[in-house]
Structure formats: structure tokens, C-alpha cells
Amino acid sequence: MLDRLFLMAVDYDMLVLDESLYAIDKNLLSEDRMIRHLEEKPEGLEVVLSGRNPSQRMIDHADYVSEICKRKHPFDRGISARKGIEK
């Protein structure tokens, strides 16, 4: 599937792979394959990977690394996790 996504992305400027770092952390997605795609991607393609617990190897391959810090969340008002959003 990852191979197909990168093939489809050749005509675009950006590919967003939401929660891909989490999938790699949980061994649902191959880190080796992701790194190979990042190294072989078209020059003009920006790839955005999100998720928790990136390995040092993934961090080393990144141009940008950012962390999001919660300042406000519905949980703070007693709203529990919502299916499809937080769980």
C-alpha cells in the first residue's frame, strides 16, 4: 500500500501520511520501506508524517520535527474520548 501511495503522489506537491509514525512504532508499517521511499521520493514532493514516538532513525531522516503540546482539550471539561477522534 505504501508503494502505491508514493506512486500516486508523483503528480502532487505534498503527501500527508497521518499517524504513520505511530503505525511504524507499532510495527504495522515498515520503517525500512518508509525510509526507502523518503530517500527515493521526487525532489519536489513534501512528505508529512504524523504520529507519536518517532524513532531516532525517522527523526534523522526528517527535515522538520515538531511536537504539539495540549493547551486545551474537551477532556478538560469532562468530555470523554470520542470514537473516531481520540479513540
DSSP sequence for 59-87 = HHH-S-------S--GGGGTPPPPTTTT-
Q: How far is CA 45 from the centre of its chain?
A: 15
For 42, left (φ over 0), alpha (ψ -120 to 50), or beta?
A: beta
The pLDDT of residue 72 is 93
Q: Which residues of the chain have pLDDT under 50?
A: none
CA triplet 4, 9, 15: central angle to 5 degrees? Answer: 105
